Amino acid sequence: MRVAMVQFASSTDRDGNRAKVDALLGDLAPVLYDLVVLPEGSMCDFGPPTMDLREQAEPLDGPFVTLLAAHARRLGATIVAGMFEATDSLPFNTLVALSSVGELIATYRKIHLYDSFGYRESDRLSPGEIKPVVISVAGLNVGLMTCYDLRFPELARKLVSAGAEAIVMPSAWVKGPLKIEQWQTLVKARAIENTLAMVAVDQCGKAYIGHSLAVDARGSILGEAGDGTEIVSAVLDAADIATVREENPSLRNRRMVHEKREGPA
């Protein structure tokens, strides 16, 4: 599966963000990728803690998703990106997945809100339902996670139980002491312990670390960005993931399994 990781910094200007996304995706050639991933908050950045995200949120048929759908059709690729989804209450921090024909095939509403390091995402956003979301892209089962979810290994394991062979994780990983090291270590750990590929696409700029990366099921880096706006390519190999799972059958060797294995959505 051919992946493009589109790293950039969004702002609180939704029109400006759509223009950025339009230009970045416009630089991609059709039929070159199977999956294109943008960061968490691509539609609109979180902004200051006092900003009311209800005023920024859009419906799933709003201008941001409409733009993504048009590019998905043009590129012949699945696109995954983060937005704030309007509700009757606090918005959801939502990933949308658009198929290669521009159809909205899945939404994942962030389960673990970032109430950590002195920040409270739950003051402005609603948590999603505790339910794994897995989509099929180019014959590979791909689970969806968002940013802070990375610190909760049980979600990755639930995605594996739902059939995931790879996980895609749009993020806005905030800068701070050891945050790059923690990001890289946890992405690799989720890959190694679950014998799957990870695609982690981050925002960059003043607030976020960048360093989007893809790793294989052994934890080896397939592609990594720096700290600026960048598009990085990687290839996920389904046969290699299967080989790793035969070499290291840790998923079969589990003894503390409390849920039935499910199929992909």
The catalytic residues are: 40, 110, 147
Contact 220, 198 (CB under 8 A): no
Contact 225, 5 (CB under 8 A): yes
Q: What amino acid occupies position 13?
A: D
Torsion, CA 201, CA 205, CA 206, CA 207, rounded to 10: -20
CB burial of 85-120 (b: ≥16 within 10 Å; e: otherwise) equals bbeeebbbbbbbbbbbebeebbbbbbbbbbeeeeee
Strand partners, 72: none
CA–CA separation, 264 vs 188, rounded Å? 23
- Comparing CA positions, the residue from 150, 222, 161 lying closest to residue 190 is 150
CA–CA separation, 231 vs 26, rounded Å? 12
CA–CA separation, 34 vs 2, rounded Å? 5
Q: What amino acid occupies position 69?
A: A
N- to C-terminal Cα distance for the chain?
19
